[in-house]
């Protein structure tokens, strides 16, 4: 481990500025737009929702990430997702990019856009454009500005989500920082929610995309709040090269160190999304160990964190381990239920609950104490090999239902 966790988020890396504004798109009296800007053009990587129903900004960004050499800014709004909005919605992406390009004096096809919120409504373009004009003069590279942006992109999130690390590459300090938002409709596949990672590393577009694509599998794609894969899932990773490190163009040692550092940022953000799932009271981590392959372990871990019954039991601090074994059983992955050991763990201790598929002799009282912590881990050993995987979810609560029964009103 060669990286160091540092303070900050999307403005932590050299040359990245941000701003935010209260544009009144849907929320009242709170910032709901953010702008990320790099002083020089960036190599841009991105991963996007696998949902067939893709929001307009996803289509816009895919075009830039896949077909254009550089990106230099990102305009983000909360409140309206610009999904299921047809050609009109796509036109609004272009108009947003045009407005930002004009005031920032860059090319419109280097302006990425991202939206989150209600599906099916059109963006109020007058407010979006006014927001862009308000933010541009306020761009700055302070950590406070990054934090303000992380707050501006929240919807039902209750906490802002930032992470940053630094790593030495070729004698130069490279920084990677990011922010994201999550909360509901969170079950990323291939990619995730909205995440924005910036780095001053010098790295080719190909290597950047490779590093991101590989790492989302182990981070964002291992998170689920409610099993619903959003229409807007997007992670963008911008690298502007201002750290001055020897440019990474192949999978050398620097690439590995960069990827390890990137993983730390992504994993931290992914866990923050799970731990702030809509209405949740606990981060629920599930580890499958002793698997034959990482894929098998991942399928099992994700099946457990998406089980409504398991999630409700976690909310109730109930060691209802049968539900965990049940969710593993219908996952589609094969294993021998009669070999499974299961442990619950938190700050309050660690306890074996199942031994070889049947109940171990444990104290329900102690189990409840362990499950009453804000971060709870269940580890299942399936005794087939050495592979493992970890997934992150949260409990299912009254507030999840409350939030989603009247989200639009």
Residues recognised as catalytic: 192
Of 111 and 353, nearer to its own copies (C-beta) is 353
Find the part of the chain contacting its own copies (CB under 8 A) among 24-32, 160-168, 184-192, 210-218: 184-192
Which contiguous run of DSSP H or E holds residue 349? strand 349-355
Three-state SS at 112? strand
Among 226, 267, 276, 341, which residue interacts with its own copies (rule: CB under 8 A)?
Answer: 226
Please report whether residue 361 would count as binding its own copies according to CB under 8 A. no
- The footprint of its own copies on this chain (CB under 8 A) covers a number of residues equal to 65
* Under rule CB under 8 A, residue 28 binds its own copies: no
The only residue of 52, 67, 137, 347 in contact with its own copies, by rule CB under 8 A: 52
> Residue 73 burial (CB < 10 Å; 0-12/13-18/19+)?
buried
Nearest to 311 by CA among 303, 6, 118: 303
Stretch that binds its own copies, among 127-135, 173-181, 208-216, 351-359 (CB under 8 A): 351-359
Tell me how far apart the alpha carbons of residues 292 and 389 are, in angstroms, rounded to a whole number: 11
x/- track of binding to its own copies for residues 257-296 (CB under 8 A): ----------------------------------------
Measured in Å, how far apart are the chain's first and last C-alpha atoms?
47
Three-class DSSP category at 119: coil
- Distance in angstroms (rounded) separating the CA atoms of residues 7 and 163: 7
Cα–Cα–Cα angle for 218, 280, 28, rounded to 5 degrees: 105
Residue 89: what are its φ and ψ, rounded to 5°? -60, -40
SS3 call for 302: helix
Q: CA–CA separation, 82 vs 214, rounded Å?
A: 28
Q: How far is the CB of 60 from its own copies (least distance, A)?
A: 16
Q: Please answer whether residues 139 and 106 qualify as being in contact, where contact means their C-beta atoms are separated by less than 8 angstroms.
A: no
- Shortest gap between Cβ of 38 and its own copies (angstroms)? 32
The interface mask with its own copies, positions 74-103, x = CB under 8 A, is -------x-xxxx-----------------
Count CB neighbours of 120 within 10 A.
12
Closest approach of Cβ 330 to its own copies, in Å? 4
Kindly tell me which residue out of 65, 354, 391, 394 binds its own copies, with binding defined by CB under 8 A: 354
Work out which of 30, 158, 349, 401 binds its own copies, going by CB under 8 A: 401
Query: Are the C-beta atoms of residues 348 and 382 closer than 8 Å to each other?
Result: no
Min separation Cβ 354 and its own copies, Å: 8
Which spans of this chain sit near its own copies (rule: CB under 8 A)?
50-54, 81, 83-86, 118-121, 184-185, 187, 189, 226-231, 306-309, 312-313, 315-316, 318, 320-323, 325-330, 334-335, 337-338, 354, 356-359, 396-398, 400-409
């Amino acid at each position: 481990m060669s990286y160091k966790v540092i303070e900050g988020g999307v403005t932590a890396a050299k040359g990245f500025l941000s701003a935010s504004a209260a544009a009144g798109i849907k929320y009242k009296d709170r910032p709901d737009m953010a702008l990320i800007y790099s002083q020089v053009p960036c190599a841009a990587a991105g991963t996007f929702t696998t949902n067939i129903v893709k929001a307009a900004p996803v289509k816009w960004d895919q075009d830039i990430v896949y077909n254009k050499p550089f990106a230099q800014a990102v305009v983000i709004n909360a409140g309206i997702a610009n999904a299921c909005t047809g050609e009109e919605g796509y036109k609004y992406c272009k108009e947003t990019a045009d407005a930002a390009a004009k005031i920032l004096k860059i090319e419109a096809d280097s302006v990425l856009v991202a939206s989150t919120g209600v599906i099916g409504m059109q963006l109020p373009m007058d407010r979006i454009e006014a927001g862009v004009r308000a933010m541009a003069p306020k761009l700055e590279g302070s950590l406070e500005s990054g934090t303000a942006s992380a707050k501006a992109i929240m919807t039902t999130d209750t906490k802002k989500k930032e992470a940053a690390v630094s790593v030495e590459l070729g004698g130069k300090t490279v920084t990677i920082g990011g922010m994201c938002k999550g909360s509901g409709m969170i079950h990323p596949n291939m990619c995730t929610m909205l995440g924005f990672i910036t780095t001053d590393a010098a790295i080719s577009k190909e290597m950047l995309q490779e590093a991101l694509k590989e790492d989302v599998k182990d981070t964002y794609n291992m998170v689920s709040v409610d099993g619903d894969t959003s229409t807007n899932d997007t992670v963008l990773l911008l690298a502007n090269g201002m750290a001055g490190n020897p440019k990474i163009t192949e999978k050398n040692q620097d690439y590995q160190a960069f990827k390890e550092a990137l993983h730390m940022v992504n994993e931290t953000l992914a866990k923050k999304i799970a731990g702030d799932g809509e209405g949740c009271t606990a981060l629920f981590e599930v580890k499958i160990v002793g698997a034959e392959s990482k894929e098998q372990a991942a399928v099992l871990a994700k099946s457990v964190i998406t089980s409504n019954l398991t999630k409700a039991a976690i909310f109730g601090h109930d060691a209802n381990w049968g539900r965990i074994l049940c969710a593993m059983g219908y996952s589609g992955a094969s294993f021998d239920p009669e070999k499974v050991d299961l442990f619950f763990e938190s700050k309050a201790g660690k306890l074996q609950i199942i031994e070889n598929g049947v109940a171990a002799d444990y104290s329900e009282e102690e189990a409840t104490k362990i499950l009453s912590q804000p971060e709870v881990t269940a580890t299942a050993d399936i005794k087939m090999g050495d592979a493992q995987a970890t997934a992150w979810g949260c409990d299912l609560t009254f507030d999840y239902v409350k939030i989603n029964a009247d989200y639009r009103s």
